[in-house]
Amino acid sequence: MRQKDTYFHKIDWITIGLYFALVLVGWLNIYAAVYDGQNDTSIFDFSINSGKQLIWIGTAVVLITLIMVADYRLFQNLSLVLYLVFIVILFLTPFIGKEINGQRAWFELGIFRLQPAEFTKFATALALAKLMENPTFDLGKWSHQAKAMGIILLPVALIMLQPDTGTAMVYSSFFIMLYREGMPQKYYVFSLGLIGLSILTLTINNNWYLFGGLAVIVVLMVLASKKSWKNLLGIFFLGVLMVTYAYSLDRVVEKLPPHQQNRIMVLFDPDVDPLGVGWNVTQSKIAIGSGGLLGKGYLEGTQTKFDFVPEQHTDFIFCTLGEEFGWVGSLVMISLFVALLLRLVFLAERQKTRFSRIYGYCVLSLLFFHFSINIAMTIGLFPVVGIPLPFFSYGGSSLWSFTLLLFIFIKLDSHRIQILGRSY
Amino acid sequence: MYTGRSLVVAVTIGLIAFVLLGKLFLIQVTDDSYLRKAERNAIQRVVDHPYRGLVYDRNNSLLVFNDPVFDLMVIPREFHLQDTARFCELFGIEKQSLVTNFNAAKNYSWVKPSPLIKQISNEEFARVQDFLIDYKGLFVMTRSVRAYPESAASNALGYIGEINAPQLGRDSSGYYTQGDYVGLSGIESYYEPDLRGKKGAKYKLVNVRGIDKGAFKNGDLDTLSIAGENLQATLDLELQVYGEKLMTGKRGSVVAIEPKSGEILTMISAPVYDPNILTGAKFGENYQKLNLDPEKPLFNRPIMAMYPPGSIFKIVQSLIGLQEGILTPNTTFACNRSLVNCHNHPSPVNLFGAIRNSCNPYYHQAFRQIINREVSQNTYTDTQIGLDNWRESVLKFGLGDRLGIDLHGEKSGSIPSSQLYDRIYGENRWKYSTIYSLSIGQGEMLVTPLQMANLAAIFANKGYYYTPHLVKAINGDPSRIPDRFKTKRYTGIDSVHFDMVQDAMAAALSGTAARAIMKDIAIAGKTGTAQNPAGEDHSVFIAFAPKEDPQIAIAVYVENAGWGGRAAASTASLLIEKYLTREINRPLLEEYVLTGEFIY
């Protein structure tokens, strides 16, 4: 008995509590999204999405139980096998999958429809953890970087074949984990600089202002640096590089077909195409923005109730919350997520093994990416990419995959005392 | 190794969350434009049109009411027709127009209603009502159009029509929207704010496809329309209908006024048109037709036509002369035809004889004394001062300016001033011999039939009048009519001077308008002939009766009907008989008026 008691105490109930809080709020919001105020359909009615989601939640609980009673070594031992199995399934998906919305991303098993790409995330996370757990693995080395990138890019390439850009993009989140594990900082500085420059190029219409601004940056860098020939030459080339990049980016965007140009420009101004690409964002912002400080009240949101926002029970589920619970509701919900993410940072850091820590960082990277990009997209801070809000969005595949992802880590964490493999 | 980087990750998480919450704060809390856009998305305002006020005559007979018409609406998504031929037969519609209308409905919206058959009449609707339940996707929308039970008084009542762009632009109250119906003429236009009522609004929730999802906030914000207020007109429907009958086949005006109140009993602009043709679906077509008609039925002659007053003006001259002390009942002048032409009558005449015989030279001489009083040595200046003083007196008779009837478009007529002659002839270039035509109501002088009827009322009242008007009560309340209709207006002529004038008017009938004389009722009247340079003169007659206690004052114009005694006097006399006795005992006279050819 005493043995069992201590095991229960080792499980991180805070994370589990946050998980169930998010799932519950998500489920209530799915009902609000399908509720139309006329038919008095119960939230438990299995013919509507909230009823179906309840089934998914129930099966997720079964999944959790299975994970918790399984041997904790299983995941480490099976990680590469799981990864390979999902790569094969992913490879087969375009050929045997069911086509929905122009994507062949779904497997049909009887009445269930599963999206293999969702599950590949946790398999990739396990594989990365397995690869990098070796203490000799050093992200400072080119060859080791290439190995890690290979594991990440293989599923990305296969997902792009479906094609599902949003899901493929998610894999870039592993760079958060790689950063923690020692990936050289210069890559991040360079990437952030490039992203910043791209945004500036696309938002500033007059190129002379842009070039002037870049010139100022170059001058400041010259003033700040040690005046050696090597430094000055480097800064000069950097300046030329930035101007060339900005100039050519504009040319490339101009060469794109108009609908793709719109997809980019709509990010800066949804009115570019309010009934086309901008529709989702415009309607989503209207729904969220009309919520005010305290919201319109549960099931009182007119925009979500009457279908003004497309995909409102899946990718745009945040609209329902924003409209019906207002800014205060958004604050509570974002706080729950932030609490979960910070808790995961804390848990990952307390792991005794590299495997568990790397896997933990993978979990938090994926959740963080999904959470921030999804919300950013609903309020027009990021282009519309089809990725779900973890634990909130309707759908069995995403709920199961995030549940698997999270609870494997909770399982590993509960066994952190038992020495497993080599410690660093 | 790299444990410090965990802090960077944690800070990044917090930073991103902060950015998201900041942006959310901007769009949710500080910017309320999204709330308005959301309302525009999901809340649809449906106007509940009020019932327009009814109009009754002075005896509470209905003049204008609202007739329901039915539009058959279709929702294309729900409407499936198996037997087109049977449907066309039942609803009395051509197959071709059914197809056209249904396609138009489909093109407009698959799920929103559009009209399939417009303006089904009450009778037709009763017939098809039972078949409606056999067809899904059909329902009926009730509207109403104006209707006139007696088809009378079209120009006085006016008509309503869709508001036009300039009117919409002038509407500062913001009450009207495109497609609203407003009074466009007559009392429909003048009393528009009273008749229209108040629109109500229902707020409905609609989904992204525009489908009704029930009331917004359970209908708490909805308002019911308030029906327009009923008007009681001063018109006497029976008299109006009879007058229109008498004016059939003639061009001209009839205005009858109750002298002691200024209430207009009858106002006819001939040729008349049936007001019922300017309602409903045929409005546009019929309006075009009336507008192009050379007889100008839409031209409201009683207030818009202007003619020289002719001989009738001699009474005004007499009264001014008496009041100014220039004339006395005993003032005598010879009928000197070298001054101005006249007709055979005993000469010389006193004032009574002058009115009775309508002696032109008498007034030529009397008017000279009124104008030239030798206040100035300079005869030009003397004439100028005299004319302007005289004009002051004439204006008090309600001439030369709008009376202020409750209709839009009233003309002012004109009484010349010295400035007018200065403009025509030059300063100090004109004198009495230039303007003497004014003495007998000719020359640079115009009055409307309404002003003429008002003159008759002044003579009947012995010196005062009430502004003629068409509405005596709003929503049953007489005090709500404009104050100017309740104000007695004096002409500045003492009532004693009217006794002799009334006697002369009564006596005049036997000479100039013997047809107008009635056995039991004493009529005072005066014929006139408005000279018409374009053709035959216009026949004019004014009268009031009974002479001792006047109940009705009337002016009748029959255009191009020649000398006033014939057509106009007979018509006026019949109308007086009708109003005072409610019957006609002179079938021969009636026959004469109805069958006589008075348009040349």
Closest CA relative to residue B465, chosen from B475, B454, B473, B474: B454
Q: Is the pLDDT of residue B30 over 60?
A: yes
**DSSP 8-state secondary structure symbol assigned to residue A276:** T
Backbone angles phi, psi at B205, to 5 degrees: -90, 135
Domain that holds residue A221: 184-255
- Does this model's pTM top 0.80? My answer is no
Taking contacts as CB-CB distances below 8 angstroms, the residues of chain B near A341 are: 13
Considering only CB atoms, A327 lies closest to which of B13, B29, B42, namely B29
How far is CA B165 from its chain centroid? 22
Is B171:B196 a contact under the CB 8 Å cutoff? no
> What is the model's pLDDT at position A112?
65
Q: Which residue of B has its CA nearest to A305?
A: B207
Task: Collect all residues with Cβ–Cβ distance below 8 Å to B107 and sequence separation of at least 6.
Answer: none
Rounded to a whole number, what is the distance in Å from the CA of A177 to chain B's nearest CA? 9
Query: Residues 38 to 57 of B: which have CB under 8 A from any A CB?
Result: 38-39, 41-43
Q: Are residues A171 and A192 in the same domain?
A: no
Q: Are residues A165 and A36 in the same domain?
A: yes
CA–CA separation, A293 and A290 (whole Å): 9
Q: Are residues A136 and A147 in the same domain?
A: yes
Lowest-confidence pick of A2-11, A398-407, B213-222, B539-548: A2-11
CB contact under 8 A, B35 and A285: no
> What is the model's pLDDT at position A263?
65
Q: Are residues A213 and A294 in the same domain?
A: no
Q: Is residue A270 part of a domain?
A: no
> What is the model's pLDDT at position A15?
95
Rounded to a whole number, what is the distance in Å from the CA of A69 to chain B's nearest CA? 30
> What is the model's pLDDT at position A1?
42
Grade residue B564 by pLDDT with cuts at 50, 70 and 90. Answer: low
Indicate which of B2, B5, B15, B24 best probes the interface with A, i.e. most A CBs within 10 Å of its own CB. Answer: B24
Q: Is B333 exposed, middle or buried (0-12, 13-18, 19+ CB in 10 A)?
A: buried
Q: Are residues A238 and A100 in the same domain?
A: no
Q: Is residue A268 part of a domain?
A: no
A302 at B interface, C-beta within 8 A:
yes
Rounded to a whole number, what is the distance in Å from the CA of B476 to chain A's nearest CA? 46
CA–CA separation, A375 and A172 (whole Å): 17
Q: What's the whole-number average pLDDT of chain B?
A: 89
Rounded to a whole number, what is the distance in Å from the CA of A183 to chain B's nearest CA? 10
B28 at A interface, C-beta within 8 A:
yes
Taking contacts as CB-CB distances below 8 angstroms, the residues of chain A near B33 are: 289
Type of residue numbered A216: V
SS (H, E, C) B294-341: CCCCCCCHHHHCCECCHHHHHHHHHHHHHHHCCCCCCCCECCCCCCCC
Q: Is residue A421 part of a domain?
A: no
Q: Are residues A192 and A156 in the same domain?
A: no
**DSSP 8-state secondary structure symbol assigned to residue B49:** P
Q: Is residue A349 part of a domain?
A: yes
Closest CA relative to residue A340, chosen from A104, A23, A97: A23
Taking contacts as CB-CB distances below 8 angstroms, the residues of chain B near A331 are: 21
How far is CA B541 from its chain centroid? 22
CB contact under 8 A, B10 and A345: yes
The mean per-residue pLDDT over the stretch B198-227 comes to 80
Is A394:A30 a contact under the CB 8 Å cutoff? yes
Phi-psi region of B229 (alpha: psi -120 to 50; beta: other; left: phi over 0): beta
Rounded to a whole number, what is the distance in Å from the CA of B7 to chain A's nearest CA? 9
User: What pLDDT digit, counting tens, does each position of B503-532 carry?
Assistant: 999 988 877 777 788 888 999 999 888 777
Please check whether the domain covering B235-273+298-304+450-600 is classified as CATH 3.40.710.10.
Answer: yes
Backbone angles phi, psi at A301, to 5 degrees: -75, 115
Grade residue B498 by pLDDT with cuts at 50, 70 and 90. Answer: very high
CB contact under 8 A, A424 and B1: yes
Q: Is A135 exposed, middle or buried (0-12, 13-18, 19+ CB in 10 A)?
A: exposed
CB contact under 8 A, B24 and A308: no
The mean per-residue pLDDT over the stretch B82-90 comes to 84
Indicate the CATH number for domain B68-146. 3.90.1310.10
The number of C-beta contacts closer than 8 angstroms across A and B is 125
Q: Are residues A212 and A174 in the same domain?
A: no
B2 at A interface, C-beta within 8 A:
yes
Taking contacts as CB-CB distances below 8 angstroms, the residues of chain A near B13 are: 338, 341-342, 345, 368
Q: Is residue A67 part of a domain?
A: yes
B11 at A interface, C-beta within 8 A:
no
Q: Are residues A326 and A351 in the same domain?
A: yes
Task: Collect all residues with Cβ–Cβ distance below 8 Å to A268 and sequence separation of at least 6.
Answer: A202, A203
Query: Residues 369 to 398 of B: which have CB under 8 A from any A CB?
Result: none
CA–CA separation, B204 and B558 (whole Å): 58
A106/B406: higher pLDDT: B406
Q: Are residues A176 and A321 in the same domain?
A: yes
> What is the model's pLDDT at position B138?
84
Q: Is residue A74 part of a domain?
A: yes
Helix (H) or strand (E) holding B119: strand B114-120
Q: Are residues A157 and A29 in the same domain?
A: yes
Q: Is residue A383 part of a domain?
A: yes
Count of domains observed in chain A: 2
Q: Consecutive 10-residue runs of chain A (424 residues): their mean pLDDT?
A: 64 94 93 77 82 92 93 90 92 77 68 79 94 90 93 92 83 94 89 85 76 84 82 86 84 76 68 69 89 88 80 87 94 96 95 93 96 92 86 90 95 80 45
CB contact under 8 A, B28 and A182: no
**DSSP 8-state secondary structure symbol assigned to residue B545:** E
Lowest-confidence pick of A274-288, B146-160, B359-373, B543-557: A274-288
User: What pLDDT digit, counting tens, does each position of B451-477 carry?
Assistant: 999 999 999 999 999 999 999 999 999
For chain B, the structural domain boundaries read 68-146, 235-273+298-304+450-600, 310-398+414-447
CA–CA separation, A83 and A72 (whole Å): 17
Q: Are residues A231 and A300 in the same domain?
A: no
User: What pLDDT digit, counting tens, does each position of B378-391 carry?
Assistant: 999 999 999 999 99
> What is the model's pLDDT at position A422?
46
CB contact under 8 A, A288 and B34: yes
> What is the model's pLDDT at position A397?
87
CB contact under 8 A, A38 and B214: yes
Q: Is residue A248 part of a domain?
A: yes
Query: In terms of residues, how long is chain A?
Result: 424
Phi-psi region of A232 (alpha: psi -120 to 50; beta: other; left: phi over 0): alpha
B127 at A interface, C-beta within 8 A:
no
